[in-house]
Chain A
Amino acid sequence: MERLILIAVIGSVTAILMRTVRQEYAVLIGIATAVLLLLGTLLRLTGIAETLHRICAEYRIAPAMIGSILKILGIAYLTEFGVNVSKDAGQQAIAGGISIGGRVLILSCALPAVVTMLETGISLIREASP
């Protein structure tokens, strides 16, 4: 955590200093800092994902279900990251495009999960009905 804060502080200070010299370098430093922070955070998620996969295998829950949930989360964070970077660079139109693209990707990833949920719900009701 301390390392992440250190990277954030150094990145922010460097970007502010560079803004007076060259604006485009400041943007690049901002992007690089954000990528480092994102990678640092995502590495911590692998522990949670592994535990969930292990328990899911025990209860015969398809690993694809947990996989798609994690994929959706990853896409959402990457999309938000892209939107924020584009906004910082003053590219509102690109930010809007990334946002729409991200949402479409999330919904397409969620389709198997939605189908599984509906199928399970229907088979539960069918199982219970006389």
Chain B
Amino acid sequence: MRKTLLFGIVLLLSVAFAESDEIREGIDALLETIELSDWDAWFLQKDGEWTALPSEYLRAITSSDAFAKDGLTLGAICAYLSPLLRSSAAKVVLLMGLATICAIANGLSDESQIGETTRTVLRIGVSGVILVLCFSEVRRTISAIETIGRTGELLLPVIAGFLTLSGMENTGLLLSATHSLLSEIVLRLLETCIVPCAVAGGVLSMLDAGEGRLASVGRLLHRAAKGILGAACSLYMLITAFRSVAAGSADGLLLKTTKFAAGSIPAIGSLLSESVDTAFQCLGFVRNALGITGCVLVVSIAAKPALSAFMTRSALRVSAHLSEPLSGKPFAELLRASGDMLHLLLLSELAAIAMTLMMIAPVFGIGKYV
């Protein structure tokens, strides 16, 4: 009852502004109802490189100059990518240097068994260096998955609150339900099962240079992690898609009924009906802007670790291909095993990002029912 009353007040406010044909003021009035200080604080704490805050970004979108904002331009993205590219190139050089050392060791004869001992020992040493190289990426990816979960918690009250105020209570409830599913089951599954399997599999494969029994166990763990990840993602997306269609239809019906009811009131021609239309447009505009801001928040927080993991994974795979003719198969397998580990971690992180974005997606989807 209270929520319906609030919706009524917001609608009346919007109609009042729309009646005076001042859409800008209507949007500004709606923006005043959204409190984004928590988002701003979170954004500043997580990443200092992006200078535009979510509240500024929301205002920028509603005034159609989002991409003119400092810190959200293509230049900022390029500035973000170039150190990553440089560091990947340095990693390739380091790995090729290690491949050269292994190639020099391949020159030792097996007659006195010195060659075999040296190659085995060098492989262990090189594995240690590669593990150290992957360590920061693994830590960053795990922390990013945790951060995505906490970002969802931050987004939920603001977006769900605004949806309820906009008369889309069902979509608001869907958002809460989807967030519970995401944080309590899917992200927990990622943190407790998929990521440990990926890391353990990678470490075992590296210890064995992709050849022995340990490597087989490692590959099995990777396959299991991939299977669980695929199943969890598919189930989540299926459930969310069904729920969002149902919630969208219910809210769409409510909004259409409201519009129809307003249109049927005989008030000075079609003045009231047009005012309600304008009010709905204002609500839709702010709702979409809020959804976009939420997506930007998720992507900007998770983009850096994902890009970094992608670059390191690419560096490892490129080095594996380049070094195989030089240092032989065992070294290349070592690099491939570590690349596979990072690939699986990257997939987990991307899945977490995609599922969080899918949680926000119904905020935009409602527009088509109105």
Stretch at the interface among A10-18, A23-31, A103-111: A103-111
* A114 engages B124 (CB within 8 Å): yes
Q: Mark A53-94, 1 if CB is under 8 A from B, else 0.
A: 001101111100110111011001101100100000000000
Classify the secondary structure of B's interface with A: helix
The reply to whether B105 and A76 contact each other, CB–CB distance below 8 Å, is yes
Task: Confirm or deny: B365 has a beta carbon within 8 angstroms of a beta carbon on chain A.
Answer: no
B126: chain A residues within 8 A (beta carbon): 69
The yes or no answer to A1 lying at the interface (CB within 8 A) is: no
Chain B residue, CB-CB nearest to A102: B114
- A121 contacts B131, CB within 8 Å? yes
Contacts of A106 in B (CB 8 A): 114, 117-118, 121
Alpha-carbon separation in the docked complex, A70 to B94 (Å): 14
Tell me, in angstroms, the Cα distance from A116 to B131 when the chains sit together.
10
Q: Which residue of B lies closest to A62 (CB)?
A: B132
Query: Is B325 located at the chain interface by the 8 A CB criterion?
Result: no
A128 near B196: Cβ-Cβ < 8 Å = yes
Q: Is the interface of A mostly helix, strand, loop or mixed?
A: helix
Chain A residues touching B, range: 35 or more
Q: Is the CB of B186 closer than 8 A to any CB of chain A?
A: no
Contact B98 A61 (CB under 8 A): no
Is B175's beta carbon under 8 Å from chain A? no
Closest chain B residue to A68, Cβ basis: B125
Q: A99 and B129 in contact (CB under 8 A), knowing A48-B101, A123-B135, A125-B196?
A: no
User: Which residue numbers of A lie inside 8 Å of B, CB to CB?
Assistant: 45, 48, 51-52, 55-56, 58-62, 65-66, 68-70, 72-73, 76-77, 79-80, 83, 95, 99, 102-103, 106-107, 109-110, 113-114, 116-117, 120-121, 123-125, 127-130
Interface residues of B in 112-146 (CB under 8 A from A): 112-115, 117-118, 121-122, 124-129, 131-135, 138-139, 142
Which of B23-31, B32-40, B176-184, B197-205 touches A?
B197-205
Q: When the two chains form their complex, are residues A99 and B112 in contact, meaning their CB atoms are under 8 A apart?
A: yes
**B91 lies within 8 A of chain A by Cβ:** yes
For A107, the chain B residues whose CB sits under 8 A away are 117, 121
Chain B residue, CB-CB nearest to A127 = B139
Contact between chains at A48 and B125 (CB < 8 Å): no
B100 is an interface residue with CB less than 8 A from chain A: yes
Once A66-B129, A69-B125 are accepted as A-B contacts, the answer to whether A127 and B117 lie under 8 Å apart by CB is no
Within 8 Å CB of A130, what residues of B?
Answer: 191-192, 196
On whether the beta carbons of B112 and A80 are closer than 8 Å, the reply is yes
B349 to chain A, nearest CB (A): 13
A-B contact pairs, 30 of them (CB 8 A): A48-B97, A48-B100, A55-B90, A55-B91, A58-B90, A69-B101, A72-B121, A72-B125, A76-B105, A76-B108, A76-B114, A76-B118, A77-B108, A80-B108, A80-B112, A83-B114, A99-B114, A106-B117, A106-B118, A110-B125, A117-B125, A120-B128, A123-B135, A124-B131, A124-B138, A125-B203, A128-B196, A128-B199, A129-B196, A130-B192
Chain B residues 262-321 with CB under 8 Å of chain A are none
Q: Is B105 within 8 A of A73, CB to CB?
A: yes
User: Which of B114, B121, B139, B196 is within 8 Å of A110, CB to CB?
Assistant: B121
A65 to B128, CA, bound (A): 8
Given the complex of chains A and B, what is the CA–CA distance between A73 and B107 in angstroms? 11
B194-220 CB mask vs A (1 if < 8 Å, else 0) is: 011011100100110000000000000
> Does residue B104 face the partner (Cβ distance < 8 Å to A)?
yes
- The answer to whether the Cβ of B93 comes within 8 Å of any Cβ in the partner chain is yes
Q: Is B82 an interface residue (CB 8 A)?
A: no
Q: Tell me if B20 counts as interface (CB < 8 A to partner A).
A: no
A14 to B359, CA, bound (A): 82
Give complex CA distance A123, B121 in Å.
21
**B109: Cβ under 8 A from any A Cβ:** yes
Give Cα A103–Cα B118 distance, bound, in whole angstroms: 8
- Residue B122 contacts which of A48, A72, A79 (CB distance < 8 angstroms)? A72
Q: Given that A80-B112, A127-B142 are contacting pairs, would A56 and B105 also be in contact in the complex, using a CB cutoff of 8 Å?
A: no
Q: A48-B100, A51-B93 are in contact. Are A61 and B132 (CB under 8 A)?
A: yes
> Are A95 and B138 in touch, CB under 8 angstroms?
no
Query: What are the nearest 6 A-B pairs in CB distance?
Result: A117-B128, A128-B199, A113-B125, A76-B118, A110-B121, A120-B131
B129/A65 in contact, CB under 8 A: yes
